[in-house]
Amino acid sequence: MHVPDGFFDAPVSIAAGAFAAAGLGVCLRGARRELDDRTAPMAGLVAAFVFAVQMLNFPVAAGTSGHLLGGTLAAVLVGPYTAVLCVAVVLLVQGFFFADGGLTALGVNITLMAIVTAVVGWAVFRLVVRAAPRGRTAVSVAAFVGAAISVPVAALAFTVLFWIGGTAPIDVSSVAMAMGGVHVLIGLGEGVITALTVSSVLAVRPDLVYGARGLTAPLVLRTAGGGSTEVTTAPAPAPARSIRPLLAGGALVAVLLAGVVSFYASSSPDGLEKVAGDKGLNVNEEHHPLGDSPFADYGVKGVGSERLAVGVAGVAGVGITVLAGGAIFYTVRRRGRDTERASA
């Protein structure tokens, strides 16, 4: 759902940019409470994983594909404030290094793909978790539902913005139907990817899943007479476990997905591209100002082998995202630690 340049007029682009900047400011402050010495590197890995999986377009209908947006996945793993920052880092890397998503539309893309998906997905996730029995299954199911709903909501939010300030005339009802319909299907794919990823992390390190904190079922002691007593005494804290094996494994998976599996992704246009072409939303689309950069369109200029070009670009993107995200999250964590010391 990367919006290119030329889709929106200046007032909406500026307003969306201001909204995105304000949202990122709020999230930078909120992330200080979410990030610690373990979750800061975890957040960098999540951003890199989102970048890698976004390269894997999957078919959803005849001539249409979809890809992960990642807001709900990141929110469940590292918290909603940090999730917005994770996806924003991915969008910045994609826009400036891979010419994916317009630069004047960066505010729109951050608003839709980072803020809307993380906020909506996290809200739905929390509602489902509270209504379901405690346990890992509930977390995975809630992650699926939150992710599946967040995508069509973001698509409908795009339609509203385009109705307000799009550069092409549209029939709002028909565009809303088209965007909503195809993104419901994409949302199902997003839900499956999110649930599988969350389940995998829960299986090996449930302590690192932000959305699973505090969901351990209480210990209940049953007496011979049929009565029961809930034990509320907190168990002794477990010794700290190193996060390095998970980071190494996750980084390897991201590299394999971006560097190898991405070559086999669907080449069909994604949901927004398909609807924009069918409904004429792209009549004023502009060429990306960095469209001739070395990694534009997820390739490498001068490399004759398409497979190798895609692989090198994917691995480079994972590396850039890890470095950029890691630097941001460590800085946020350090400032949060300084604030804690000052208030102590």
CATH number, domain at 37? 1.10.1760.20
| 343: its two tokens | 């208030």
Rounded distance, CA 129 to CA 146, Å? 10
CA dist 338 and 344 (Å) reads 10
Residues 43, 70: contact at Cβ < 8 Å?
no
Model confidence over 31-67: pLDDT tens digits?
Answer: 999 998 888 999 999 999 999 999 999 999 889 999 9
Residue 216 region by backbone torsions, left for phi larger than 0, else alpha for psi between -120 and 50, else beta:
beta
* Interacting residues of 19 by C-beta distance below 8 A, sequence separation 6+: 107, 111, 115
By CB neighbour count within 10 A (0-12 exposed, 13-18 middle, 19+ buried), where does 228 fall?
exposed
CA distance 258 to 317: 8
Task: Please tell me whether residue 67 adopts helix, strand or coil conformation.
Answer: coil
Q: Is residue 89 part of a domain?
A: yes
Alpha carbons 204 and 245: distance in angstroms, whole number? 10
Is 94 among the domain residues?
Answer: yes
Tokens 């894997």 appear where?
56
Domain assignment present for 232: no
The confidence score (pLDDT) of residue 51 equals 98
Q: pTM for the full model? A: 0.92
Q: Is residue 27 part of a domain?
A: yes
Rounded distance, CA 321 to CA 52, Å? Answer: 10
**H-helix or E-strand spanning residue 191:** helix 172-204
Q: Is residue 144 part of a domain?
A: yes
Q: How many CA atoms lie within 13 A of 240 on its CB side?
A: 5
Residue type, 26: V
Task: Give the pLDDT band of residue 330 (cuts 50, 70, 90).
Answer: very high
Q: What percent of the chain has pLDDT over 90?
A: 83
Question: In the structure encoding, which two tokens stand for residue 211, read together?
Answer: 């959305």
Has residue 233 got a pLDDT over 50? no
Count how many Cα atoms sit within 13 Å of the Cα of residue 63 in the half-sphere of its side chain. 5
**Cβ–Cβ < 8 Å for 87, 113:** yes
Q: Which two tokens stand for residue 87?
A: 């996806």
What is residue 17's three-state secondary structure? helix
| Host domain of residue 64 | 10-212+243-337
What pLDDT, on the 0 to 100 scale, is given for residue 234?
A: 46
> Are 107 and 20 a contacting pair, CB within 8 Å?
yes
Q: Which residue has the higher pLDDT, 84 or 302?
A: 84
The region of weakest confidence among 10-24, 216-230, 239-253 is: 216-230
pLDDT digits (tens, 9 = 90+) for 154-179: 999 999 999 999 999 999 999 999 99
Residue 293's Cβ-count burial label (10 Å; 0-12, 13-18, 19+) is: middle
**pLDDT value of residue 341:** 72
150 pLDDT tier (thresholds 50, 70, 90): very high
- Pick the closest to residue 30 from 99, 98, 122 (CA basis): 122
Q: Which two tokens stand for residue 116?
A: 């809307």
Confidence at residue 324, expressed as pLDDT on a 0 to 100 scale: 96
Which runs of consecutive H residues, i.e. helices, occur in 210-305? Answer: 244-259, 271-279
Domain total in the chain: 1
Contact 298, 39 (CB under 8 A): no
Model confidence at 225, in pLDDT bands (50, 70, 90)?
low
Which amino acid type is present at position 289? P
218 within a domain of the structure (yes/no): no
| Two tokens, residue 207 | 């302590």
Contact 60, 66 (CB under 8 A): yes
Task: Specify if 1 maps to a domain.
Answer: no
Is 229 within the bounds of a domain?
A: no
| Listed residue (211, 247, 18) closest to 10, CA to CA | 18
Q: pLDDT tens for residues 251-288?
A: 999 999 999 999 999 999 999 999 999 999 999 999 99
**The pairing of beta strand 64-66 with beta strand 228-231:** unpaired
